[in-house]
Amino acid sequence: MPSGKQVVVVTDSTADLPRELTAQHNLEIIPLNLVWGGQTYRDGLDIDSTTFFQRLRSEREFPTTSQPSPAAFLEGWQRAAPDPETPILSIHIASTLSGTVASAEAAKKMISGRTIEIVDTYSASLGQGLIVLAAARAAEAGQSLEECTAIARALIPRLHILLIVDTLEYLHRGGRIGGAARLLGTMLNLKPLLDLAEGRGRLEPLARIRTRAKAVDRMLEIARERIAGRPAHIAALHTADPDECARLAERVRGLFDCRELILGQVGSAIGAHVGPGALGMAFYTE
């Protein structure tokens, strides 16, 4: 590996990191694509989260998503690291949920003379984002590509995402429902609590809860069981209700030893699959 060059970290738009953090850590974000009404939008560039969810609530047509092309990866890597001797760590959404990793691997085969590591997080949204931030901090501290990659990979089995959704309709129609499929047709206005954890890359059902307030309580109980008093890096995420997300974050601050607490809004690429009423948290412990 070329020496003396700081590792550049690249991710995709499904990491859902707030803009101030992507700017702070100089992260290159490669957008996924949203296809809607005969038009293609680049997630986070051509359509913002607020506009997306307003439209999602009012339109009958269902949007679809697609991974970035290999050309988009080549362009993104070049923007992030114009010097071909600069090593690149490209960290992406679960291959079980998207073809993004496959597209990145195809792009890597198209170029030579560059040192690029591609990491499949088996996660998404701010779970993926927490991994990206850990790798970016390691790069900023001067650690090598091998060290930064090892840090990212070590977090994968330790990363948890708990997610409350209003309906399973969006996950079902988008083909990302995983093990939660067995809840279809049985919900009767119950709030599904879902789990994407421990490197499985698959959404699994945890509970069906009668009210949203009780679903949030149960989500925090499960988080408390898993965190078990250890220092934790935590993200609170929402689709279209920042006030509810802020209230969740306040409870998180009171319950846990937060070494890091991020609040973020889900973008259109993830939002197309979880719908406008999602609330969740991602975390790993030290």
Encode pLDDT of 139-190 as tens digits.
999 999 999 999 999 999 999 999 999 877 777 665 544 544 444 444 456 7
d(CA 181, CA 203): 9
Q: Please determine, for residue 78, whether its predicted confidence score (pLDDT) is greater than 80.
A: yes
- Cβ atoms of residues 202 and 196 within 8 Å: yes
Domain boundaries defined on the chain = 8-32+67-156, 159-285
- Please give the structure tokens belonging to residue 268: 């259109």
Reported as type and span, the H/E element at residue 261 is strand 258-265
In this predicted model, what pLDDT tens digit does every residue of 215-264 receive, in sequence order?
Answer: 999 999 999 999 999 999 999 999 999 999 999 999 999 999 999 999 99
In this predicted model, what pLDDT tens digit does every residue of 100-135 receive, in sequence order?
Answer: 999 999 999 999 989 999 999 999 999 999 999 999
Q: Does domain 159-285 have CATH number 1.10.3720.10?
A: no
> Residue 136: left (phi > 0), alpha (psi -120 to 50), or beta?
alpha
- Please give the structure tokens belonging to residue 147: 């060290």
CATH of domain 8-32+67-156: 3.40.50.10170
Say what the pLDDT of residue 199 is. Answer: 65
- Cβ atoms of residues 221 and 281 within 8 Å: no
- Please give the structure tokens belonging to residue 232: 């934790």
Reported as type and span, the H/E element at residue 209 is strand 204-209
